[in-house]
Structure 1
Amino acid sequence: MDQVPEFEPEPRRRLAAGLSVRAFVPNAITAAALCSGLTGIRFAIAGDYPKAVQAVILAGLLDGIDGRAARLLKAQTRFGAELDSLADSISFGVAPALIVYLWTLNQIPSLGWIAALAFAICCVLRLARFNARLDMLEQPHKAAGFLTGVPAPLGAGLAFLPMYLWIVTGNPVFADPRAVSLWMVLNAFLMISSVPTLGWSRLRPPAHLRLGVIALVGLTMAALLTEPWMTLVAITLVYIALIPVGLIAYGKTKRQNAQAASGSELASD
Structure 2
Amino acid sequence: MTAPPARAGLPFRAFPPNAITALALCCGLTGVRYGFVEDWERALTFIILAGVLDGMDGRVARLLRAQSKFGAELDSLSDNIAFGTAPALIMFFWSLQFAPKFGWTVALALAVCCALRLARFNARIDNDDQPHKSAGFNTGVPAPVGAGLAFVPLFLWLVTGNDLFRSWTLVMPWTLFVAGLMISSLPTFTWTSLRVRRTWRLPALAGVVLLGAALLNEPWLTLLAISALYLLMIPFSIAAYGRVKRRRASAAA
Q: TM-score, normalised by structure 1?
A: 0.90
How big is the shift at 1:209? 1.2
Q: Distance in 1 between matches of 2:97 and 2:25?
A: 24
- SS at 2:202's partner residue? helix
Superposed displacement of residue 208, structure 1: 1.5
- Check if 1:107 corresponds to 2:98: yes
Rounded to whole Å, the distance in 2 between the matches of 1:60 and 1:90 is 12
CA–CA distance in 1 between the matches of 2:68 and 2:138? 21
1:238 aligned to which of 229, 238, 252:
229
| 2:180 alignment partner in structure 1 | 189
Task: Please give the secondary structure, in 1, of the residue aligned with 2:102.
Answer: helix
Kindly state the Cα deviation for residue 204 of structure 1 after the two structures are TM-superposed.
2.1
What SS class does the counterpart of residue 233 from structure 1 fall into? helix
1:66 maps onto 2:78 in alignment: no
CA–CA separation in structure 2 for the residues paired with 1:261 and 1:110: 53
Q: Is the 8 A contact 1:155 1:187 kept in 2?
A: yes
* Superposition deviation, residue 19 in structure 1: 1.6
Query: Cα offset for 1:206?
Result: 1.4
Paired amino acid for 1:128: A
Shift of 1:109: 5.1
Amino acid at match of 1:191: M
- Aligned AA (1:235): I
Deviation at 1:176, TM superposition (A): 1.1
Matches within 5 A, 1:215-226: 215-226=206-217
Indicate conservation of the 8 Å contact 1:112/1:178, yes or no.
Answer: no
Structural mapping, 1:169-180, within 5 Å: 169-180=160-171
Could you tell me the percent identity over the aligned residues? 58
CA–CA distance in structure 2, aligned partners of residues 72 and 136 of structure 1: 24
Q: Structure 2: how far apart are the matches of 1:129 and 1:239?
A: 22
Task: Please name the residue that 1:32 is paired with.
Answer: 23
Aligned residue in 2 for 1:148: 139
Q: Distance in 2 between matches of 1:189 and 1:82?
A: 24
Other-structure match for 1:121: 112
